[in-house]
A and B are shown apart, each in its own frame.
Chain A
Amino acid sequence: MRITPGRTIRTGAAALALITLSACGGGGTGKADSHGPFRVLAVLPLSGALAEQAKLQMSGLQAAADDLNGRGGIGGRKIEIASVDDKLNPTEAVSRLQSRLNGSERPDYVLAGATSNETLAMLPALTNARVLSGTTASDRSMDDPKKYPYHFGYQSANDQNYASAVRFMKTRGVRTLAFIASNDALGTYNRSAIENAVKGTGIKLVAQSYDSKATDLTAPLDALRSARPDLLLASGYGPAVGYILDARQKLNWSVPVIGDSGFAGSNPASLVDSSALKDVLIQTFKVAALSERGSWQPATERMVKAVAAKGPVKQIITLAAEPYDALQVLGVAAEQAGGTDPADLKKAMESLKRPSPVPWTTYAAYAYSTKAHFPVVNDSDFSYLPASVLVQGQFEASS
């Protein structure tokens, strides 16, 4: 067979265009047994690129179930946890969820996905079935109590996190802020979040985006450097974190850096030499900071030990803490609602009275309302730490 360059290019380009992704949802009609066990279903990417994160989420969920079951369960019902692997595929997630909603062991609560794509695909079916759900994904479009009345988020979105970071920067006298984020959906959202956060603060913002598949970020960092900012707020995940720090060092640029929660969760100290971490802080919740032990929520120590007992913690502990909190918040809501009817639980969540001590770990209060189903962040929930090595999911260094 004679091979021509033209044919090779055409067929090659066609082959490279093979990309698949789709999502859809549906509803169910079954009803949970309100006297049997309290069934928790985790629909998570237990295989594939986010498998380690998903397994840590399962550890957090199981640790909370063990703790609550020792105290009688949720609303007097023992918790039973089941999991299904959605392979990070929204279509698979909906399909696996739907079969559980239609089955005999219908879940009372669903931890719905690790990413916004999975969660958004499952929400119509969950809403239709009136099943309470939660997620650690933080796409703001999920915070819509009218559209998704039974869904509650467990991770604050970056609009709140960045607003808090900007207040921290003001105390540092920052006047020009550089910001870098990927050009995918999350990065674009983060860019709009920081633009809103600096409004009215007197801080001038210069921003650059990068291709999430890029392997060298010297050019966008160099463009940011030319604006002579006082600080760089870096948003990224995985290798991009290394590329950002590597480019900064290569450019011999001494600008101080704050990495956002995704940046922190990528464990930057594992990606670059310690010399590239000079003047690099990470914004992280206190639950992930060993040095903040004195200001942890009372249940944190117990949660950390319980999660560690389930296996080595290779990722940031917040991945386990947030699902842990999800069940603990449900437990408090059930006490205050006097049962586990979904409508009563939803109502109790929206007007949750803060117990003392709180059984959760990440936020001082979850502060849901009829208008907001995402947690409300206080500046005191955060810590700004030098980027250091993660030990059992927590950063060692002190601020």
Chain B
Amino acid sequence: MTVLWAGLTMGSVYTLVALTYNMTLVLTGVLNFATAQFFTVGAFTAYAGLTQHSLPLPVVLLIGAVLGGLVAVAEERVAIRPLRGHGGHTELVTTLGVSTVIAGAAIVIWGPDPLRVTVVPERTWTVLGGQVRPNELLLIVIAVVATLGFHVWTHRSRLGLAGLARTEDEDAAALRGIDVRRLSMLGFAIAGIFGGLVGPVMAQTTYAVATIGLVLALKGFVAMALGGVGSHLGALLGGTVVGLVEAFSNRHLGNDYGDIAVIVILALILLLRPTGLLSKGEPRLV
């Protein structure tokens, strides 16, 4: 059961990253490979605020959210907007570049060593026969709540629906009066604020370490592809499947097989359902 909790915890981490991929994708149309670094911003903010300056947690979360949002908006202005209308997928290169810059800045400011972050008390609880930590349960709850929240917002709010319309046809959406540039900025801002806010909780599990964003970018992408690109519910399902398959393969087949099992399942699902588990079988981002 402890392995199940570990799998669910890591699945939640992958879900959170997949959600931020989806958020920029739906509202902006950009697959942002720096998205996992928004959590890095939150993680290091937590280390600086909680450990180095002993600030209250709400203040640290606020600073993390603001910094995450600012970094994301800056990325949109510098690495995405100038490429609009040029065609191709050059933003994949520029977002990878932004990701590298954020990781490099973290090394320059805080060094390469992992830094400990404590957001909630470090205890171990026995839940349903397995050992789990409060921060891990919190991550699972955040992943579920955020998924439902983003799903409802995307499908019920005017901005969410505008994003879906933009995803369907950017030119048509613009003709109907949707401010595509504003949406793009909004997509990045939401992803950045979300990463900055959740990053501190994530860092209690993963540590604040400059390389973590690059590591999570890959698994988050797999979770998103597995669940269905653009689908928030799919992100939750994909992240959970990746986390559980990884944990149980590592436990029962050996640690060399965790990644292999994840990729085999991804390949199988994409062969059988190329649009992912929770998409509607047609190439549409919802």
| Chain A residues with a Cβ under 8 A of chain B | 1-6, 8-9, 11-16, 18, 48-52, 183, 208-211, 213-216, 218-220, 222-223, 238-239, 242, 247, 249-252, 266-267, 270-273, 275, 314
Does the CB pair A219–B250 fall under 8 Å?
yes
Residue pairs across A and B with Cβ atoms less than 8 A apart, 21 shown, are A1-B29, A2-B283, A3-B25, A5-B228, A5-B285, A11-B89, A11-B92, A15-B89, A16-B221, A48-B112, A49-B107, A51-B107, A51-B111, A215-B205, A215-B206, A218-B3, A219-B258, A242-B207, A250-B6, A250-B124, A250-B132
Most buried by B among A219, A252, A270, A272: A219
> What string of 1s and 0s marks CB contacts (under 8 Å) between B252-286 and chain A?
10111011000000000010001110010001010
Whether A218 contacts B215 in the complex (CB less than 8 A), given A11-B92, A211-B255, A250-B131, comes out as no
Residues in B whose Cβ lies below 8 Å from that of A218: 2-3, 5-6, 247
User: Which residues of B approach A to under 8 Å, CB–CB?
Assistant: 2-3, 5-6, 9-10, 13, 25, 29, 31, 33, 87, 89, 92-93, 96, 107, 111-114, 116, 122, 124, 131-133, 167-170, 205-207, 209-212, 215-218, 221, 225, 228-230, 247-248, 250-252, 254-256, 258-259, 270, 274-276, 279, 283, 285
Contact between A48 and B107, CB atoms less than 8 A apart: yes
Q: Is the CB of A12 within 8 A of B31?
A: yes
Query: What number of A-B contacts does a CB cutoff of 8 Å give?
Result: 149
Instruction: Tell me, rounded to whole Å, the shortest Cβ–Cβ distance linking B270 to chain A.
Output: 7
Question: Which residue of A is nearest B248, CB measured?
Answer: A219
Once the chains bind, are A271 and B255 in contact (CB under 8 Å)?
Answer: no
Alpha-carbon separation in the docked complex, A12 to B219 (Å): 12
- Given A3-B285, A5-B230, do A270 and B116 touch, yes or no (CB 8 Å)? yes
CB nearest neighbor in A for B276: A5
C-alpha spacing A356/B133, complex, angstroms: 55
B112 near A51 (CB under 8 angstroms)?
yes
Whether A8 touches B229, Cβ cut-off 8 Å, given contacts A3-B285, A208-B255, A211-B259, is yes
Query: Shortest CB–CB separation between residue A380 and chain B, in angstroms?
Result: 30
6 further interface pairs, Cβ-Cβ under 8 Å (given A12-B33, A220-B250, A251-B131): A48-B112, A49-B112, A50-B112, A211-B255, A218-B6, A223-B251
Which residues of the other chain, A, contact B132 by a CB distance below 8 angstroms?
A: 250
Instruction: Decide if A3 touches B167 in the complex (CB within 8 Å).
Output: yes
Complex: A238 Cα to B205 Cα, angstroms: 14
A183–B256 CB distance below 8 A: yes
Cβ contacts under 8 Å, A250 to chain B = 2, 6, 124, 131-133
For A13, the chain B residues whose CB sits under 8 A away are: 221
Contact assessment for A242 and B2 in the assembled complex, using a CB-CB cutoff below 8 Å: no
Q: Which residues of A contact B92 (CB under 8 A)?
A: 11-12, 14-15
Give Cα distance in the complex from A215 to B219, angstroms: 11
Is A215's CB under 8 angstroms from B2's CB? no
| B212 touching A5, Cβ below 8 Å | no
Shortest 9 CB-CB contacts between residues of A and residues of B = A219-B250, A218-B6, A5-B229, A4-B283, A219-B251, A239-B114, A15-B92, A49-B112, A215-B206
Residue of A nearest to B210 (CB): A49
B163 to chain A, nearest CB (A): 12
